[in-house]
């Protein structure tokens, strides 16, 4: 399918709001309204580079014997080395950022775990070029979860743009975002004010507070309220949404997650067979019922686009719970981790910039005001660069092609599965100085903005927009907006904060140990 000119409408539209702002307990009380879109970034093509005169090198690496090779690689990936060291050791072994290996889960869930790995910022973008790679059924990599978990449908994330249903469903997602654009900023403020109050209460009672637990509930409430106008607590779903979603995601991603259980238990269960759907069927039905009852206006539009209400509802559930909620569940703790570790100097700069911009906008949190916060925007970009929330990317070669790293060119055959580990591409030292460091102001100024084409978290570069003709996240601008809102709300309310960081199967675990209320 030819690339469509339809781009994401989200940040290119006004965000009027009729809701009155909630009262803040801090000395600074901004109103909440969004108005003007952010200025567009220059468009940069994701088409892979034309072949140059780099020397052709045979792709190094060996996938080993069937079953034995994939099993051994799986042990290294999860237990013996860990994911990052698994890739680093092979880069050193082969002296190449492009090589062959196996990706989990391997036997007996994935029939063919062989991949060509791309681990640098030059080769990685070919995974976005849908003229060269097919994205059909590769969302989770070398295996695909049962469609029983999505109502019997292959949902949007598993469709290639060449498939007619991809066009219809992505247009439906754009419709949802456009229809509810005026509710995002006020609902975010209300939902995350509830989060901050919960954190403060837990800090007062226990001396510490889990950010993750409060964030999960706030994120789910925000998504339901802003996108569907429904408050989960007032429905039969109640406050169970986040826990059900986490369980449902485990049934899909369990084979490629390290859950922290003893090796024997993980290997004999989630690595060997798929968890049966009947164990979660009733819970999934509760989610489905909530979305079906809340999304009538979207389901009406789906029928106009030629999609049944049932299929549309399963797609809305997936996009909201797996993509959006999953992204906020992983990325928001990561943002808190990196900013928390950066220390009080960065906190002071952010607080000063954010409060000055909001005051200049008449005390209102608006899109225009956020455009006057270059450091805040850079901090969000940097968090996406250093730890993208979706680290694994796959695509199947549509034809024989040549892929280039910085040093060599490699011949790839039609049908081969290409895999990229995104954190290595976005921390490529040949592209970014101090690539392994969190540099809050990295993307400030003209030179900093030139680097945005190498920020790749959204299944495409930051300088591109989602369309029906590509696989870039339909909610890219929505996710960027809410990530910025998190920082804005945080530093309108607090001067600084302190944290403890632990591990988690998804992202990291953040515990708040101190919150210093706004003093200016």
What is the rounded distance in angstroms from the CA atom of residue 145 to the CA atom of residue 149?
7
Per DSSP, 10 falls in state G
Q: How far is CA 323 from CA 172, 319, 394, 422, in A?
A: 15, 5, 16, 17
CB 127 within 8 Å of CB 118: yes
Helix 211-228 vs helix 241-253: crossing angle, to nearest 10: 100
The beta strand positions in 332-412, using DSSP E, are 364-365, 392-397, 401-404, 409-412
> What's the CA gap between 195 and 202, in Å, rounded?
11
Q: Is 281 exposed, middle or buried (0-12, 13-18, 19+ CB in 10 A)?
A: exposed
Contact 179, 187 (CB under 8 A): no
Radius of gyration in angstroms for the set of CA atoms belonging to the chain, rounded to a whole number: 23
Q: Biggest alpha carbon distance in the chain?
A: 67
Cα–Cα distance between 334 and 336 in angstroms, integer?
A: 5
Q: Answer for the pair 65, 216: CB distance below 8 angstroms, yes or no.
A: no
DSSP string, 413-475: -TTPEEEEEHHHHTT-TTTSTTTTS--TTTT-HHHHHHGGGG--BTTB-TTS---TTS-S-TT
Q: Which long-range contacts (CB under 8 A, 24 or more apart) does 91-96 make?
A: 91/119, 94/60, 94/61, 95/60, 96/57, 96/60, 96/405, 96/407, 96/408
CA angle in degrees (0–180, nearest 5) for 174-177-181: 140
Q: Is 321 annotated as ligand-binding?
A: no
The alpha carbon dihedral of 404, 406, 409, 411 has a sign of negative
> Of 328, 380, 331, 333, which is closest to residue 219 (Cα–Cα)?
328
User: Residue positions in the annotated binding site?
Assistant: 473
User: Residue positions in the annotated binding site for heme?
Assistant: 473
């Amino acid at each position: 399918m030819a690339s469509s000119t339809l781009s994401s409408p989200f940040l290119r539209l006004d965000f009027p709001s009729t809701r009155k702002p909630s009262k803040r307990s801090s000395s600074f009380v901004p109103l909440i309204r969004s108005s003007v879109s952010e200025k567009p970034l220059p468009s940069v093509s994701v088409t892979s580079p034309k072949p140059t005169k780099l020397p052709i090198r045979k792709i190094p690496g060996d996938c080993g014997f069937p079953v034995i090779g994939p099993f051994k690689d799986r042990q290294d990936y999860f237990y013996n080395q860990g994911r990052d060291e698994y890739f680093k050791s092979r880069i050193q072994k082969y002296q190449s950022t492009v090589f062959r290996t196996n990706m989990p889960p391997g036997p007996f869930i994935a029939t063919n775990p062989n991949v060509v790995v791309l681990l640098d910022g030059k080769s990685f973008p070919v995974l976005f070029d849908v003229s060269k790679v097919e994205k059909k059924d590769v969302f989770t990599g070398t295996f695909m979860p049962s469609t029983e978990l999505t109502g019997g449908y292959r949902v949007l994330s598993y469709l290639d743009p060449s498939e007619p249903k991809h066009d219809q469903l992505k247009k439906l997602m754009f419709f949802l975002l456009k229809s509810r654009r005026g509710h995002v900023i006020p609902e975010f403020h209300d939902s995350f004010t509830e989060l901050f109050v919960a954190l403060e209460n837990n800090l007062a009672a226990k001396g510490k507070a889990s950010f993750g637990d409060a964030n999960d509930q706030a994120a789910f409430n925000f998504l339901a309220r802003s996108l569907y106008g429904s408050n989960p607590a007032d429905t039969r779903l109640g406050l169970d949404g986040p826990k059900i979603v986490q369980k449902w995601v485990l049934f899909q991603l369990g084979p490629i997650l390290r859950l922290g259980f003893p090796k024997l238990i993980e290997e004999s269960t989630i690595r060997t067979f798929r968890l049966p759907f009947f164990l979660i069927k009733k819970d999934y039905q509760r989610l489905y019922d909530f979305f079906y009852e809340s999304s009538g206006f979207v389901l009406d539009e789906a029928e106009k686009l030629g999609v049944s209400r049932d299929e549309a509802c399963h797609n809305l559930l997936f996009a909201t719970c797996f993509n959006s909620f999953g992204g906020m569940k992983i990325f928001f703790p990561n943002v808190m981790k990196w900013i928390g570790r950066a220390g009080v100097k960065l906190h002071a700069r952010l607080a000063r910039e954010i409060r000055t911009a909001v005051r200049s906008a008449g005390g209102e949190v608006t899109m225009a005001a956020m455009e006057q916060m270059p450091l805040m925007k850079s901090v969000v970009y940097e968090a996406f660069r250093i730890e993208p929330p979706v680290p694994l990317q796959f695509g199947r070669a549509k034809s024989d092609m040549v892929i280039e790293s910085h040093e060599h060119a490699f011949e790839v055959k039609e049908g081969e599965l290409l895999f990229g580990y995104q954190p290595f591409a976005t921390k490529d030292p040949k592209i970014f100085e101090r690539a392994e460091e969190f540099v809050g102001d990295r993307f400030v100024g003209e030179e900093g903005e030139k680097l945005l084409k190498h920020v790749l978290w959204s299944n495409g570069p930051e300088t591109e927009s989602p369309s029906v003709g590509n696989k870039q996240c339909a909610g890219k601008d929505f996710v960027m907006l809410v990530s910025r809102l998190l920082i804005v709300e945080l530093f309108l309310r607090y001067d600084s904060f302190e944290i403890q960081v632990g591990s988690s199967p998804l992202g990291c675990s953040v515990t708040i140990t101190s919150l210093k209320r706004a003093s200016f």
